[in-house]
Amino acid sequence: MDLGIDWFNARWKIDDKPKRKKVSDTVKNHVMKQQHYECFVCHKELPARKHFHHIIPVSKGGDNLPENIIAVCSNCHDMITHQMQLDEQSNKDTKKTEPKNVWNTPPGELFR
């Protein structure tokens, strides 16, 4: 029956999506130990409220493995997140923006 197969495929697709799983304590401890309990970016002692950052985002197939995770302080985590957003934005921009054709562009629009 077709209905059954569709249902199965739908279920499979949902299950196949990368999920945002929590980083396990074992992995967190391993990562912190490797970094000598210092922030990966600024090398200050990790504060009580530390952040665990995925080098490859989970949404892009990154895993909760120690190789893909760094422990950072909240300041540095904000910085990384901000930088990643900027990068993503500039990637979008470079794809969208085409070089202006000087000869076809009215002089007033060239310097906008």
Tell me the C-alpha distance between 108 and 95, whole Å: 24
Which one of 28, 38, 41, 57 is in contact with Zn ion (CB under 5 A)?
41
Phi, psi of 71 (to 5 degrees): -95, 125
- Cα Rg of the chain, angstroms: 22
Closer residue to Zn ion, CB minimum distance, 27 or 76:
76
The 6-25 contact track toward Zn ion, x by CB under 5 A, reads: --------------------
Q: Is 32 in the site for Zn ion (CB under 5 A)?
A: no
The 58-77 contact track toward Zn ion, x by CB under 5 A, reads: ---------------x--x-
Of 3-11, 14-22, 33-41, 85-93: span binding Zn ion (CB under 5 A): 33-41
Minimum distance of Zn ion from residue 74's CB (angstroms): 8
Amino acid identity of residue 79, one-letter, is: M
Contact 72, 37 (CB under 8 A): no
Positive or negative: CA dihedral 16, 20, 24, 30? positive
H helices of the chain, where?
2-16, 25-34, 74-96, 107-110
Which one of 10, 42, 84, 86 is in contact with Zn ion (CB under 5 A)?
42
Residues binding Zn ion (CB under 5 A): 39, 41-42, 73, 76
